[in-house]
Homo-oligomer: A and B are copies of this chain.
Amino acid sequence: MDREKALRFLKEQRKLMNYMNSTLSVVSWDTEVMAPEEAIDYRSEVIGYLSSNYHQLTTDYRIEQALGVLLSEEDKFNLYEQRLIEEFYNIYYKNKKIPESLQKELSMATAISNKSWKRAKEKGDYELFKPHLARVIDLLKQQAVCVGYEGHIYNAFLDNFEKGMTVEELDEIFADLKEGLVKLLAELKEAKQLSFRRPKGPFSKESQSQLALYILNQMGYRIHEAGRLDETEHPFTAFLGPKDIRITTHYYENSIEGALFSTIHEGGHAIYDQNMPHDWAEYGVNEAPSMGLHESQSRFYENIIGRSLPFWRAYFPKLQEFMPSYQSVSLEEFYQMINEVSPSLIRTEADEITYSLHIIIRYEIEKLMVSGEVGIDELPMIWNQKYKEYLGVEPKNDAEGLMQDVHWAEGMIGYFPSYALGNLYGAQFYHQMKKELPQLKDEIESGNLSIVFEWLKQNVHSYGKVYTPGQLVEHVTKEPLNPKYFLDYLREKYLNLYHL
């Protein structure tokens, strides 16, 4: 194999992996959104089979041959080729290092823990979940040891979702973030609390979905030609193909806010996916550099844009058209309503300020969990202590405590920081966007969201995974990730909102 042949092989292999990924996405999307109840059991067998096919593609012995040729080359490679080679190197040797038996055990253990989590959460009984969680943690730690890591063992977990990020770095970032958030929360407590009378429903699914489609369209999500909006229990975005990016939401009859902000959130993900460098898909660069960066786009649209005054100056009249009962609400009242700050128990319902504290709690607990500093029995106690300390609230039971999220049951330890990092990336991008586009606020107020769309497309989306997360942030904002921008953004917005 020569250099050209080796590159060609990797690109061809990547193409097949993309096909198999797309297949898995179609089948999983169908399972979540369309499949009848009794289809599920056989469907999991099919998904297991497809996953093992995908795994085979990533462990083909010819990958090692091709890498051997390319790594011995002294030639320079362009940026796309570098990514292609690096990615295959990472995937191939990672998969090689994890024994197949461990992988199977892990996938069985997470399937079981997922089921036990559902039951345990329903019954509010941590004991039902505990042994399965312990097993998952143990297997994940074994995996981390096989793959290897430097410094804290949690670095191996972070690496799965936020390449290049370390505990050492994150500790510092989150310390600043926590300090700033706690301070801001304390200041807001001094302020007169706002009180709202929200319009009561029922709000029909039809009118809610029409409003959502209107806004998604304004945002620049090409939903009609290359997307879909459907309803599921939990909202998500699915990448079924370069021109097939779908989102889901959940409608509540008595409140429009859930569906409205979850569609804007998923719309942010979808726009990112639609504007990746898909022409370079065979280099594997048409995806986000990290989960944190993907979350940066969804949370940016949901909060920084979607909960801003200029945005609703443009679109509140339209909302009132779709939802006549909002005609008795003023723009100012609506703006306050959707930005109500109130420490609470559930992450997914948290406001912009307290949200990241929910994440920091999870981050701290995950580190203790995988380092072994805290045993499986003590987790509820620690969870509840931290909620009391950071947020001043205490769960009545573990269902609204440490069992509220599915992530641990699915073995996704190390994912949570991505959400908070998303907030930070988003605010830092926003700072830069405002600097480069002095007319930004005016344009948004006049309903020209394409200025946001174009800037993000040009500066973030179109780079896909060509850069690492750190490189991308520096490339866009000329400095490394800094929580200051997020804290500044929050202070300015909320001190203003509470007239402080």
Chain A contact residues, CB within 8 Å of chain B: 16, 19-20, 22-23, 26-27, 29-30, 34-39, 41-43, 45-46, 49-50, 53, 222-228, 240-244
Residue among B49, B224, B226, B244 making CB contact with A19, cutoff 8 Å: B49
Query: How many copies make up the complex?
Result: 2
Bound Cα distance A227, B37 (Å):
9
Residues of chain B within 8 A (CB-CB) of A19 are 45-46, 49-50
In the assembled complex, 23 residue pairs joining A and B whose CB atoms fall closer than 8 Å, in A order, are A16-B49, A19-B50, A22-B46, A23-B23, A23-B46, A26-B27, A26-B30, A29-B30, A30-B30, A30-B240, A34-B34, A35-B244, A36-B223, A36-B227, A36-B243, A37-B225, A38-B226, A38-B243, A39-B226, A39-B244, A42-B241, A42-B242, A43-B244
Bound Cα distance A20, B53 (Å):
11
* Other A-B pairs, 15, CB within 8 Å; known A26-B26, A26-B27, A29-B30: A16-B49, A19-B50, A20-B49, A22-B42, A27-B27, A34-B228, A36-B227, A36-B228, A36-B243, A37-B225, A39-B240, A39-B244, A42-B241, A42-B242, A42-B243
Bound Cα distance A49, B244 (Å):
18
B23 touching A244, Cβ below 8 Å: no
Q: Which residue of B lies closest to A21 (CB)?
A: B46
Bound Cα distance A16, B20 (Å):
15
Given A22-B42, A46-B22, CB of A36 within 8 Å of CB of B224: yes
A244 touching B42, Cβ below 8 Å: yes
For residue A106, give the distance in angstroms from its CB to the closest CB of chain B. 21
Bound Cα distance A43, B36 (Å):
23
Bound Cα distance A415, B191 (Å):
77
The A interface is mostly helix, strand or loop, or mixed, namely: helix
Bound Cα distance A435, B23 (Å):
49
For residue A32, give the distance in angstroms from its CB to the closest CB of chain B. 12
Residues of chain B within 8 A (CB-CB) of A224 are 36
Residues of chain B within 8 A (CB-CB) of A240 are 30, 35, 39
A226 touching B36, Cβ below 8 Å: yes
Residues of chain B within 8 A (CB-CB) of A223 are 36
Bound Cα distance A16, B49 (Å):
8
For residue A40, give the distance in angstroms from its CB to the closest CB of chain B. 9
Bound Cα distance A242, B35 (Å):
12
Residues of chain B within 8 A (CB-CB) of A228 are 34, 36
Bound Cα distance A37, B225 (Å):
6
Residues of chain B within 8 A (CB-CB) of A53 are 53
Residues of chain B within 8 A (CB-CB) of A244 are 35-36, 38-39, 42-43
Candidate in A26, A46, A222, A223 with the most chain B CB atoms within 10 angstroms: A26
For residue A160, give the distance in angstroms from its CB to the closest CB of chain B. 26
For residue A196, give the distance in angstroms from its CB to the closest CB of chain B. 37
Residues of chain B within 8 A (CB-CB) of A16 are 49
B50 touching A23, Cβ below 8 Å: yes
Residues of chain B within 8 A (CB-CB) of A42 are 22, 241-244
For residue A38, give the distance in angstroms from its CB to the closest CB of chain B. 4
List 5 tightest A-B contacts by C-beta distance, closest first: A39-B244, A38-B243, A19-B49, A42-B241, A38-B226
Bound Cα distance A45, B23 (Å):
11
Residues of chain B within 8 A (CB-CB) of A35 are 240, 244
Residues of chain B within 8 A (CB-CB) of A50 are 19, 23
For residue A289, give the distance in angstroms from its CB to the closest CB of chain B. 23
B36 touching A27, Cβ below 8 Å: no
Given A39-B243, A42-B241, CB of A23 within 8 Å of CB of B27: yes
Bound Cα distance A39, B241 (Å):
7
For residue A240, give the distance in angstroms from its CB to the closest CB of chain B. 7
